[in-house]
Amino acid sequence: MGNQASRLDELISHDYRHGFYTPMEVDSAPAGLSEDVIRLISAKKNEPDFMLDWRLKAFRHWLTMTEPRWATVRHPPIDYQAIVYYSAPKSRTDGPKSLAEVDPELLRTYEKLGVPLEERELLAGVAVDAVFDSVSVATTFKEKLGELGIIFCSFSEAVQHHPELVRQYLGSVVPYTDNFFATLNSAVFSDGSFCYIPPGVRCPMELSTYFRINAKNTGQFERTLIIADRGAYVSYLEGCTAPMRDENQLHAAVVELVALEGAQIKYSTVQNWYPGDKDGKGGIYNFVTKRGDCREANSKISWTQVETGSAITWKYPSVILQGDNSVGEFHSVALTNHWQQADTGTKMIHLGRNTKSTILSKGISAGHGSNAYRGLVKVAKSAANARNYTQCDSLLLGDRCAAHTFPYIEVKNASARVEHEASTSRIGEDQLFYCQSRGVSAEDAVSLIVSGFCREVFKELPMEFAVEAQKLLGVSLEGSIG
């Protein structure tokens, strides 16, 4: 059986394609965390006082907290004093005003990653904000969007040009006291994307952020804030990669979404941070807090995620259903191969009346991968006629990987209807041989099986992203059933 297992392993093993490093001159803070470092970050970004105060409050609170221990993930202790909390490509002076000001080396990096920043080369209908290490390097189509009153820029720019919006909404969904990693992020976050869609505007293109960790020993702490005002609609995409390194790197991001009356936000992620090598060395620790607030009636927030990268993924994109008749959705594919670990899921908090949520989670484990779904459906007393449907499927490739499901349900209103379905299936040599005996190669068989399994989630992704996700799963599984 031993060599059969390794054949499946070979099938899912693959080389990480985005693992190169771009040598850049950088401007960085010394390693370690202190009030001085936070003041330095804030000063570098020329922030107004309210921002510095907020950061310092978060930092002081963080000092009283300890890392969460309840997830199924295991890792050696993280030395928070060894991390560099601020690193920016040097050539940049005061934030890019146009693409012409962006370092050509950076543009080449994004091209290599398949994210062209030249506007004319962009896929029609996608505006991109590119975040390199800690800072946003370019935002495309800004002017075109501006004509509609849409603000789409880096977080730093938003702080400069729209402080009143930042002040109103920052921390209003994920407060700085929320959890260990979100609090750390609140203290040190250096950039990210900001987006505001004015009332009644349907954003005519997909907005997209592409995150890249480049520098060594650097943590990436970005913060995204999206506000859809009354009746607005926006579809937002997020992608990420990092170079291959033997050390683990920390990525602790926060995403806050606010949907006002009748607004809709669709947030899609294809996460492909460096997962570490096949022996489990290196890789990104992806400890992320994502939460949406359906703050007013008839609003809708929908999360779709394809998580294939990172050594450890710890994230629970959630929706607070405050407004009556609001709708929350979570569609997820999480893949763990080799020694990757994922503890991911969602929280649907029903507060308003007639609120509805759907959870569709697909976990794929291969190699020694460990994959946990952790979900909370909470129906408050106030949430009359709340509905939730949860479907949670696990696919195991081989016999050394693991899947766990932790569905938590708290219902305080008797009129609620909460349904949960779960399934686990294992794919092994027998299934592969069956396909091969029909003329389908083992590689094709794996991708047939995996894409069949993920179909319902992929159809929620915007077209280009769906293709990308399918390809990603293809490579992530090269060499995989065990």
Partner 1 sequence: MLEIRNLHVTVDEGTTKRPILRGLDLAVGAGEVHAIMGPNGSGKSTLAHVLAGREGYVVTAGEVLYRGANLLDLPPETRAREGIFLAFQYPVEIPGVANIYLLKAALNAARKHRGEAELDALDFLALVKAKLRLMQMDESLLYRAVNEGFSGGEKKRNEILQMAVLEPQLAILDETDSGLDIDALKVVANGVNAMRSPERAMILVTHYQRLLDHIRPDRVHVLAHGRIALSGGPELALELERRGYGWVEAKALETAAGARP
Whether the CB-CB separation of 314 and 344 falls below 8 Å is answered with yes
> Binding to partner 1 by residue 430, rule CB under 8 A?
yes
Min CB(4)–partner 1 separation in Å: 6
Is residue 438 at the binding interface for partner 1, with CB under 8 A as the rule? yes
Give dist(CA 12, CA 308) in Å, integer: 12
Among 66, 81, 93, 437, binds partner 1 (CB under 8 A): 437
Give yes or no for residue 429 binding partner 1 (CB under 8 A): yes
Nearer to partner 1, 67 or 456 (CB): 456
- Give which of 287, 272, 336 is closest to 19, Cα–Cα: 272
Which two tokens mark 202?
């349907």
Minimum distance, C-beta of residue 462 to partner 1, in the bound complex (Å) = 23
391 binds partner 1 (CB under 8 A): no
6 is an interface residue for partner 1 by CB under 8 A: no
421 lies in the site for partner 1, by CB under 8 A: no
Q: How far is the CB of 364 from partner 1 (least distance, A)?
A: 10
State yes or no: residue 111 binds partner 1 (CB under 8 A): no
Question: Which CB, 7 or 404, lies closer to partner 1?
Answer: 7
Sign of the CA dihedral 429, 432, 438, 440? Answer: negative
Q: Who's near 3: CB < 8 A, 6+ residues apart?
A: none
Cα–Cα distance between 222 and 155 in angstroms, integer?
9
Stretch that binds partner 1, among 105-113, 200-208, 229-237, 427-435 (CB under 8 A): 427-435
Closer residue to partner 1 in complex, CB, 52/435? 435
What secondary structure letter does DSSP report for 70? Answer: -
| CB 455 to partner 1: min, Å | 8
Nearest to 482 by CA among 78, 8, 86, 1: 8
Residue 314 and residue 283 in contact, taking contact as beta carbons nearer than 8 Å: no
Number of residues that bind partner 1 (CB under 8 A): 25
Residue that is written with structure tokens 């005996």 in the block: 437
Residue from 91, 358, 436, 470 binding partner 1 (CB under 8 A) = 436
Q: Cα angle vertex 221, ends 218, 224, to 5°? A: 150
Q: Using DSSP, state whether 192 is helix, strand or coil.
A: coil
Phi, psi of 70 (to 5 degrees): -80, -15
Q: Does 459 bind partner 1 (CB under 8 A)?
A: no
Position among 20, 441, 463, 467 found at the interface with partner 1 (CB under 8 A): 441
Between residues 126 and 449, which has the closer beta carbon with respect to partner 1? 449
- Our CA angle for 165, 44, 111, nearest 5°, is 80
Helices 429-436/2-12 angle, 10° precision: 70
Q: Does 408 bind partner 1 (CB under 8 A)?
A: no
Phi, psi of 261 (to 5 degrees): -55, 125
Choose, by CB under 8 A, the member of 111, 148, 452, 463 that binds partner 1. Answer: 452
Q: Assess 444 for contact with partner 1 (CB under 8 A).
A: yes
| Member of 263, 360, 395, 416 binding partner 1 (CB under 8 A) | 395
Site membership for partner 1, residue 88 (CB under 8 A): no
**Residue 385 near partner 1 by CB under 8 A:** no
Q: Write down the least CB distance from residue 12 to partner 1, Å.
A: 16
Per rule CB under 8 A, is residue 431 in the interface with partner 1? yes
d(CA 313, CA 342): 5
C-alpha pair distances (Å), 246 with each of 31, 79, 369:
18, 16, 18
Residues that bind partner 1 (CB under 8 A): 4, 7, 395, 423, 425, 427, 429-431, 433-442, 444, 448-450, 452-453
